[in-house]
Homo-oligomer: A and B are copies of this chain.
Amino acid sequence: MRIDGKALAAARREATAEAVQRRTEQGLPAPVLAVILVGEDPASQVYVRNKENACRKAGIEPRTWRLPADTAQTDLLDLIAQLNSDPAVHGILVQMPLPKHLDEQAVIDAIDPDKDVDGLHPVNAGRLASGLPGFVPCTPQGAIALLESAGLTDMTGLKAVVVGRSVLVGKPMAQLLLERNATVTICHSRTRDLASQVKDADIVVAAVGRPELIQGDWIKDGAYVIDVGINRVEGHLVGDVQTEEAEKHAAAITPVPGGCGPMTVQMLLENTLLAARRQEETAR
């Protein structure tokens, strides 16, 4: 079974739109997501446009700052400080990667953790690791929703293998699976015999960005496979998993494209709505 990420994202966006609608009826403002895009990177421009469109469809107001590629670090930090202190702005997203002269970590650190709807701030990583409420990065949060949508609602005692240890995907993914009582193994480029790790897994999450690294016949019969990778090979997109072969063994698998991508955008919308709600609660 292929898990339809587009359909799940559309259904959840509907629910988000309804929740925003109910807010409006109560006299609450639309959640506002500030988006900062520095420079002209074509892929980043596409991503930002997709996010803006998704926001609008859900009734969330995107406010985008398109800054020149030579923007100074201090100017960017000033803008973030201004957005942090603006009560009308609920979420702040800085589109990565930034031009090389800018210090990405310093920029992330400057965002108010309570407006960090991308879940990039170390404070949010720490809250996740400590079991405290915060913002969870969108991609792993979407991956959990995809597993649940495929019927895997109880992960207790299952063996989960996360391939990739990035701050944005692999590490928070491991935390989320651990919270759900899975036994979690984190593999990476230095792992010996990746095949035998994957062959043993009830849940496989591939997030390494290496086209079809995970061979289809490594997948255990009945396993659940989430393919986070999006790799461009000879003009078309492939994941980190050999999808067709893996599908013969897996109980469920996400396709590329149309799996994790749409859900990542949807979780951004849900995080923005959550940010608005939390800020209103704090203000009360």
Contacts and interface: CB of A to CB of B under 8 A. Distances in A.
Contacts of A122: 123, 126-127, 129-130, 132
Nearest to A161: B185
Contact of A157 (B157, B174, B191): B191
Nearest to A159: B192
Q: In the complex this chain forms, how many copies of it are found?
A: 2
Given A122-B129, A126-B124, A129-B129, A178 B186 contact: yes
Nearest to A167: B130
A208 interface: no
Contacts of A178: 165, 171, 186, 188
Contacts of A174: 174, 186
A188 to B, nearest CB: 7
A273 interface: no
A214 interface: no
Which A-B residue pairs are the 6 nearest by beta carbons? A126-B126, A122-B126, A125-B126, A185-B185, A181-B190, A125-B129
